[in-house]
Chain A
Amino acid sequence: MDAPCKQLTMEPKTKWPWITILVIQMSLFSVSCRLCVILPEDLNMNQMYSNADAQNSITEIILGGAQIALSQHFMEVADTYFHNGVERFRPAAFKNTFFQHTLEKVSPTTHSHASGEQMKEIMAWISLAIWLNPHDIQAYLLAGFWLAEGIGKIQTAINILEQGEQNNPYSFQIQLELGRVYAMQGRLKDAEKAFETGLRIWPSGLSPDTPEAKRGIIALLVYNGLFQEINNENKEAVETYKKLLALSPDEPKVKERMEMLAKDMQPSVLASTILNDNILRSNQIIECQRPEGKKE
């Protein structure tokens, strides 16, 4: 007689988890309805929706620190998309098992780089990475670079870089890329301003000796010098080139140019021509670490 009694008591017990979930859900809903009142001023809901920095707070509340990891993951996925599905190379202790051979046949190994319409697919992942972590400078730089040069959407690149500037006001990298894209669109005054800002805020928290910081200051000084030449501020341009040569003495063309400007002579190649050539060359260094793929 014991067994059926036990069985009878099993039925109502199974409802408790659902009731608990319902109660938790109702409590969470009531709390979320009152978030505007409970949260401090800087986390107010209206502000959350009004600017990107606060928008980050929503994802931060939901995901916590995981949002950074997730954002990094999306950047890795973007990288995999750029290599048409071929994952980053990782050294393995052994390579000749049956399963590894089979996996090579199943997964793409033909190594190529995305181009044209395929570039749009990368943007989706970068967009998600930015949404999760608006302080990921590399994501803005890549988005700006690929939008302007891969897809040819210069205005969209400017929009995303300006959003990056809002979220990271002290990043010289974003100013440098923004200046370059402004110049591509012919907005030379805005470009000049961006390069000047970049120079003022350099090294933006980085150590001045890092390769990234060094590359950045050299590019900023070159652009600044060229704009000073265009504005007929030759003395200022000479000073800028002196700073540049102090940082990177192995630049014979810059040295020659500086000497001509110091003597009030016009260099053989116009500053505007060099600028036009240079804005098409990004400061981004993209290294491909994938091994050569096997053609199927």
Chain B
Amino acid sequence: MTQILTIASVVWLKMLRKKDIYVLLILTGALLTTLISLDIFGLGKVTGYIKEMGLLMAWLFGWILAVNVSSREIPEEETRGTIFPLLAKPITRFQFLCGKLLGSFTIVAVAILVFYVLVFAVVISRGGTFDFKTIAQGYALHCAALAVLSAMSLAFSTRMNYDAAASISYVLSGVMFLLVRRIPVFITYAEGIRANALMIIYNLLPHLEIFDMRKRIIHDYGPLNALPFCGILAYGLLLSLLFLMLAWLSYRQKRFSRGTML
């Protein structure tokens, strides 16, 4: 466990040095400032659109961070050659992967926590209200979705360089977010091979739409019942473990050749 935590802390240090989070935070802040400066027909206390845009930004930036941070860790270690002294230490490849995943995931989780706090501070300052339990659930499910994305990007990065791993992760996660939930609708217009292909995608790809509680938070529908909430969390955990296992299977026998990495 100590080895895993040490590697995770190194991921954190690298992230703080690169300042990606600050850029995204500044962007969110700038967008929220623009939104609160809008005058909606002089109607005063209108906060729904700030919640909607703010949470959208939290999802968007969380997605960017999760894919970027997770998919660059391993290729960077290999390109710089730091993988050699690292694996020479008493650490297994599984621990190495777990450490990388833990580091990237916690960075993203903390970053989106800051986004949530920022959004809700702005909304509260405008006179809006929230149900804390619903937000806590929304945040937990958001983190679960990002854990899946982090594990997936990490799995791709075990056999690809940073650019390729990030690109394929963006494309796949984009399909998971945007396409998968609409497949039952698309199938009504599709026939034959197209319909079969859509069904395969529907059943094969993870369903990230069930992690999205934004509508529940924005429209004050209250918290989810414990059973579906825990079920979705368990689904997220299983998917993350599955991608971690795939990453390990791909990485455990990987041979490193110094010349080809540069």
Contacts and interface: CB of A to CB of B under 8 A. Distances in A.
A78 to B, nearest CB: 10
A117 B81 CA distance: 61
B210 interface: yes
Interface string A82-123: 001100001111110101101101111010000001001101
B188 A124 contact: no
A81 B48 contact: yes
A124 B215 contact: no
Nearest to A5: B262
What is the size category of the interface that chain B forms with chain A? 35 or more
Contacts of B202: 97
A85 B213 CA distance: 11
Interface centre among B49, B79, B232 (most CB of A within 10 A): B49
Interface in B186-208: 187-188, 195, 202, 207
Interface in B21-70: 38, 40-49, 52
A156 interface: yes
A258 interface: no
B192 to A, nearest CB: 14
Nearest to A155: B42
B259 interface: yes
A105 B223 CA distance: 10
Given A90-B185, A105-B228, A156-B41, A120 B46 contact: yes
Nearest to B47: A121
Interface in A116-148: 117, 120-121, 123-125, 127-128, 143, 147
Nearest to A130: B41
Nearest to B195: A93
Interface residues of A, number: 41
Contact of A93 (B46, B141, B188, B262): B188
The 8 lowest CB-CB distance pairs between A and B, nearest first, are: A85-B219, A121-B48, A92-B184, A93-B187, A124-B49, A99-B207, A105-B228, A6-B262
24 contacts: A10-B262, A85-B215, A92-B185, A93-B184, A93-B185, A93-B188, A94-B184, A99-B209, A102-B232, A106-B210, A106-B224, A107-B212, A108-B216, A117-B45, A120-B43, A120-B46, A121-B46, A121-B49, A128-B49, A151-B43, A153-B41, A153-B43, A156-B41, A159-B41
Interface of A: 2-3, 6-7, 10, 77, 81, 84-85, 90-95, 97, 99-100, 102-103, 105-108, 110, 117, 120-121, 123-125, 127-128, 143, 147, 151, 153, 156, 159-160, 296
Interface of B: 38, 40-49, 52, 79-81, 141, 181, 184-185, 187-188, 195, 202, 207, 209-210, 212-213, 215-216, 218-219, 221, 224-225, 228, 231-232, 258-259, 262
